Structure 1
Amino acid sequence: MEYEIKGGAFPMVVCKLQKGETVKNETGAMAYMTSDIKMDTNTGGGLLKGIGRALSGDTIFLNFFTAQSDNQEIGFSSCTPGKIIPIRLNGSNTIIGQKNAFLAAEDGVDLDMYFRKKLGAGIFGGEGFILQKFSGTGLLFLEVDGEVIEHNLQPGEKLLVDPGHIAAMEESVEFDIERVKGAKNMLFGEGLFFARLQGPGKVWIQTMPISKLAEAIIPFLPANNEH
């Protein structure tokens, strides 16, 4: 499958499919497709798998698009200003992404909810650390809020990140949630929790989580004056 990412701050990935090739996406991301592509909507592996995806921020159902002839095109657009990251999975590399990170993928890519084993991250991370796991083989497209900064962590190297800024990471990266130390820091600082990431592995950091963008816009919205 060939692809091209277009559109600047409001990106779209355009995939060119040959006969028999299939891509899948979450409901609502498809922008356009040529006429000889067949669409099928299902849970992508049973109801329980669909419910697991819903808990991790996606929809229960996936759309599957299969080319019925060569040189068919389909475009998937990001729902927020940002970037689309293409990642090729080869069967041995697994990616952990934030909820709502999934945009589209080839049919050989597996999507699952990612369960945390460490109690700290499960309790203190809040809903922001309900994650998605991507494995299998094929191209995976993730959508990232704002710009993206990549960090390649060496073995043992640590990085403290605001949880909302984590877009994705390789499964080899260890992470947990730690409380911010100091009462003043907790009350007047950056927040109550940091995500502690430890290498080896690659981390993708997003510069403008949609939640922070919403917070920045709210003060400028007109008040709802009741009469």
Structure 2
Amino acid sequence: MENVLDWYAQPYDPDEPVVCFDERPCQLIGETRVPRPPKPGRPQRYDHEYERKGTCNIFGFFQPLKSWRHLKVTEHRKSEDFALCMQYLVDGLFPQADKLHVVLDNLNTHSPAALYKTFNPDEALRILKRIQFHYTPKHGSWLNMIEFEFSALSRQCLNRRIPDIEQLRYEVTAWEKRRNHDKATVNWLFTVDDARTKLSRLYPQTILS
């Protein structure tokens, strides 16, 4: 926890940016009947019945100090998908950075082993040399600022029926562009000192002789 909080307190460094990363599932839902269009004094109406169209996954990258986020919609979230996201992070999103500090949780696919499973050893090592993982503690995913972005995404974009992955990508991209244009970010105030005071029960008790 303190490792993550300490990095959040660091000033912005373009050579070693901090990027929060996570993923969330998304259910695809279609209509069984054509919605009725809105009329004066009456909003558009949807039938309560719907059709399940399967599920997919949304990976999220969030750089709070630059008010920037990027979302990537995939069909699933296997270890290979995580490895491809890390390759995309270092080569596509931050090719000029010396080291990327990635905040993420302890999901079993979030590991260096995923890169060796996906790429040849030389490529896996090349990517890992550019990344330093900072894991949130167990039951401490709230420490990852990308969770705030996923919450906003759920309320502002995913609060309607989206029937297929192509439409989802379109909607998510539009939301991402608007948030980046508005420079929306997280004003993080919880510090290491706050943790030591408010979460003192989580610390071992030291007895001085």
The normalised TM-score by structure 1 is 0.22
The normalised TM-score by structure 2 is 0.23
The answer to which structure has the higher helix fraction is: 2
